[in-house]
Amino acid sequence: MIKSMTGFGHGEKETGQYKITVEIKSVNHRYCDLSVKLPKKFNAFESRIRNVMKEYVARGKTDLYIVFENYSSSKCKVEYHQEVAEAYVAAIDRAGESFGLERGLTGSGLVRFPEVITLSEEEQDMEEIFPALEEVLRQAGRHFVESREAEGANLRQDILKKLDFIQCLISYIEERSPEMLKEYRDKLRKKVEEALGDVHLDESVLSTELVVYADKVCVDEETVRLRSHVENLRSTMEAEGTIGRKLDFIVQEMNREANTILSKANDQALSEHAIDLKTEIEKIREQIQNIE
């Protein structure tokens, strides 16, 4: 199934403690370019996040946004440092002995000294949150792929219509080429007869000239190859996986044949159809640039 490189996916999960939101946006790009924007506390998960995303995107410039909202109250941890307190008491005793001072120290006074008591916020175990994050990633990934497939279906229909028109143009060119040769033969015979008058026309000379002309304007090989490329393009669009690069290569070959036909066209009507042929191929090429 054809997938566009343009897509959007959204997923979220909310609990009593937190809310995780994931958004995926992508546009066309020659390679797979994944940009991940996530909260600092999720940095350790980036490698795992990228591995999950590989299952949903193979090509395109993709931006992944992750938002984490923590609803739980921060839990503070109070720690008493015995060794620090002992050091303060010992220092106060030495100072008292040196100057003949009474200690005058209370417990509440002691804990006010720096580092005797410290407050720290208990870290949330992020590993417990990763399964929920992965669930939301996959939810957004599925929506992302669905949007790409929907856009890809539209691209497919448009390309098929253009291929139908191209086949009509090829049919006209195939029909017109023999007529063009016959018209040239009649025109050449008329000119020679006007120039020679009653002198007998050597048919072998006329045939030689026609063979040379036919070799210059014959497009049979080009139209046969062009039809083959059209069928190859149709069958490739039904294939699974990443097909954008292969489609682009086929269209390049189609354009090559169209250029040759145009260069050989020695007839206004044929030239106009050859130009239309190139125009439609270019339109398909532009559409294919957005296929994964």
Tell me the per-residue pLDDT of 79-107, one tens digit each, with 9 for 90 and over. Answer: 888 998 889 888 888 887 887 777 777 88
What are the backbone angles phi and psi of residue 179, rounded to the nearest 5°?
-65, -40
- Mark whether 37 and 135 lie in a shared domain: yes
Domain count, the chain: 3
In one-letter notation, the amino acid at residue 198 is D
14 neighbors 132 (Cβ within 8 angstroms): no
Q: How confident is the model at residue 247 (pLDDT cuts 50, 70, 90)?
A: very high
Collapsed DSSP state (helix, strand, coil) of residue 69: strand
- Mark whether 228 and 248 lie in a shared domain: yes
Give domain status of residue 133, yes or no.
yes
Give every CB contact of residue 41 below 8 A, 6+ residues apart in sequence.
68, 124, 126
- Mark whether 163 and 245 lie in a shared domain: yes
Confidence at residue 99, expressed as pLDDT on a 0 to 100 scale? 78
| Distinct helix (H) and strand (E) counts, the chain | 8, 6
Range of the domain at 57: 7-72+126-147
- Mark whether 258 and 156 lie in a shared domain: yes
Q: How confident is the model at residue 189 (pLDDT cuts 50, 70, 90)?
A: low
Give domain status of residue 1, yes or no.
no
- Mark whether 191 and 168 lie in a shared domain: yes
Both tokens assigned to 104: 């005058």
Higher pLDDT, 122 or 36: 36
Kindly state the average pLDDT of the residues 189-211. 57
Higher pLDDT, 137 or 109: 137
Q: How confident is the model at residue 234 (pLDDT cuts 50, 70, 90)?
A: very high
Kindly state the average pLDDT of the residues 261-278. 86
Tell me what percent of the residues of the chain surpass a pLDDT of 90.
52
- Mark whether 36 and 154 lie in a shared domain: no
76 neighbors 119 (Cβ within 8 angstroms): yes
- Mark whether 85 and 214 lie in a shared domain: no
Nearest to 55 by CA among 128, 140, 147: 140
Confidence at residue 51, expressed as pLDDT on a 0 to 100 scale? 95
Q: How confident is the model at residue 208 (pLDDT cuts 50, 70, 90)?
A: low
CATH of the domain at 57: 3.30.230
Kindly state the average pLDDT of the residues 253-275. 87
Confidence at residue 197, expressed as pLDDT on a 0 to 100 scale? 57
Q: How confident is the model at residue 54 (pLDDT cuts 50, 70, 90)?
A: very high
Nearest to 266 by CA among 185, 175, 180: 180
Q: Does the pLDDT value for residue 145 go beyond 90?
A: yes
Confidence at residue 204, expressed as pLDDT on a 0 to 100 scale? 63
Kindly state the average pLDDT of the residues 234-245. 91
pTM of the model: 0.70
- Mark whether 52 and 159 lie in a shared domain: no
CA dist., res. 212 & res. 146, Å (int) = 57
Nearest to 264 by CA among 205, 223, 209, 207: 223
- Polymer length of the chain: 292
Q: Does the pLDDT value for residue 215 go beyond 60?
A: no
Alpha helices in 12-99 (DSSP H): 46-53, 82-99
Higher pLDDT, 185 or 235: 235
- Mark whether 222 and 255 lie in a shared domain: yes
Give every CB contact of residue 237 below 8 A, 6+ residues apart in sequence.
2, 156, 159, 160, 243, 247
Q: How confident is the model at residue 74 (pLDDT cuts 50, 70, 90)?
A: low
CA dist., res. 270 & res. 46, Å (int) = 58
Residue 173, number of CB atoms within 10 A of its CB? 23
Mean per-residue pLDDT of the chain: 85
- Mark whether 158 and 197 lie in a shared domain: yes
- Mark whether 155 and 34 lie in a shared domain: no
- Mark whether 98 and 55 lie in a shared domain: no
Give domain status of residue 2, yes or no.
no
Q: Which of 34-43, 73-82, 102-111, 259-268 has the lowest mean pLDDT?
A: 73-82
In one-letter notation, the amino acid at residue 106 is T
276 neighbors 15 (Cβ within 8 angstroms): no
Q: Does the pLDDT value for residue 177 go beyond 80?
A: no
Q: Which of 90-99, 155-164, 190-199, 224-233 has the lowest mean pLDDT?
A: 190-199
Helix (H) or strand (E) holding 175: helix 130-196
CATH of the domain at 234: 1.20.140
Q: Does the pLDDT value for residue 23 go beyond 90?
A: yes
